[in-house]
Every structure is written in C-alpha cells, then in structure tokens.
Amino acid sequence: KSGFPTSYIYIYLSYHSSAIAQMTFCLRTNPVGVQRNMSQSSLAGKVAIVTASTDGIGLAAAQALGKRGAHVVVSSRKQTNVDKAVALLQGQNIQVTGTTCNVGEGKEREKLVQMTLEKCGGIDILVSNAAVNPFFGNIMDSTEDVWDKILSVNVKSSFLMTKLVVPHMEKRGGGNVVFVSSVAGYQPMQALGPYSVSKTALLGLTRALAPDLAQSNIRVNCVAPGVIKTRFSSALWQNEDIMDEFKKQLSIKRIGEPEEIGGVIAFLCSDEASYITGETITVTGGINCRL
C-alpha cells in the first residue's frame, strides 16, 4: 500500500499516461525533429572560444558547439589552417570567426580574447584544447627546455586563458570552462612522461578552479580522451603493435573518433550539465582510469 488515497493515484497515473502517450506520438511521428530541436538550440546566443581548433578534437568541439547554436571562435598558429576550418564550419551553417593564435604567448592570448569581444560581443565558453609534445622517449632523457615548453603550453596557458575570459563570463552572468586532458593523465604512457604529467596537472587545475568560479556561476570541467584518431596521436594509432597491446585494455575494441569527444564537451557546456562542476569525464572506450 502506498499511503495515498486511491483517487490521487488514479489522477497521477492518468496524467502521466497521457503525457507519455503524447511524447511517444511525437517521437514516433518526428524523432529526428525532436532530437534536432533539443540539440540545435541549446547553446543559441552563446560565444565559445576553442583553442587549437582547426583539426582533431578542437575542430570536433567547435562543430559540436556550433551545431547547438553557439558562435564559435576557432584558432591555430597557421592562417591557412584557420581559413580551411572556417570554410568547413561555414559550410555546415555554423556561426564562426577565426584567427591565428599561439596560446603559449601572452600577447597572442590577449589578442584572441579582444578579437572575440569586438566581433562577438562577449564570451560564454572556453574550451582549452591546445597542447604540445616535443619529446618522445625515456623521461630521464627529457630536458629542462622540454619541460618548460610542455608545461607552458599544456598547463600554464590553460590557466592564463581562463583568467583572461572569466571577467567577461561574469559580465554575462556565468559561463563554462572545459579543459582537454588525456587518459595519460591517469596512466602515464610509455615514452610520453612529461606530456602525461602535464595532463595530470589539468585534472588538478579543474578541481582547484571549480569552487572559486562556482561563486560566479562559472562551471569548470575536464574531458580525458583515450586514443582518438587525430593527427596529433597518429604515432600511436598508426602503430599496429602499440594498438594491439592498447586494445587489450579497452572494453570497446576500437580507437575513438574526434566527434565522440566533441559531443561530450558540448554537453558539459549545456544546461543539461548545469549541476556538474569540478569533474573529469573520461572518454576512453572503457579503460579503467583512476589516480
């Protein structure tokens, strides 16, 4: 027995049965339209900066955000790459602005933010995706220059970009920051020691920033991809011996696609994730990730 009067239960069931029937009818008659309406307008009016976004995961993130209605600002160090990405996104009816930017340089970061403000009127979302890896080998052979380069671009610039955009997010009532880490942040990959350490640092940066920025209605989250089929990770997925060994750790026996990361990033920036902050979502095909 429920403890509620029978008449209350009858009204409750009648109401919800009717609602479910209407929803079922709608999904049966136009399932694609319902999905499109739910996804394409969820970020309408938002402005999103995505660093290192002319290829791979960065471009996929720009596509996913743009398809949900955001005006995306893409960047790369080379103008030819920017032009190509802008043309691609415009061809998909995505609002896009592009510029060159080396996020490792302070003046370049400031230029990116200022250009976004001038052309788009504000900033709501930052996806910090830029990363470098100039070293491959035994970690004990890595040099001070290698560490300076990796930590400067992969970690320090992520924080400094956040620091630049936060005041502008506050003016718009809040926002979202997403860092792109890696499964290597949980389990360092052989021959990628310094890079792996930098990705672990992003997990900590996410947790450190989230409580303070929550007071300004800014959520901070992180995505840790596994091996994804991008140019950046081609040394891994093009090596059959490495991949055969790697796939033993996977539940889903394949490498990931950039779009599978872009969709998670867009989710984290949407209202559907409004109660999520300080978290890292691993998108790895089932690798057990734990620090």
Catalytic residues: 195
- 206: amino acid identity, one letter: T
Q: Check: CB of residue 226 under 8 Å from CB of residue 287.
A: yes
**Cα distance between residue 18 and residue 68, in whole Å:** 30
Q: What is the bridge-based pairing of β-strands 125-128 and 175-180? A: parallel
- Chain centroid to CA 28: 32
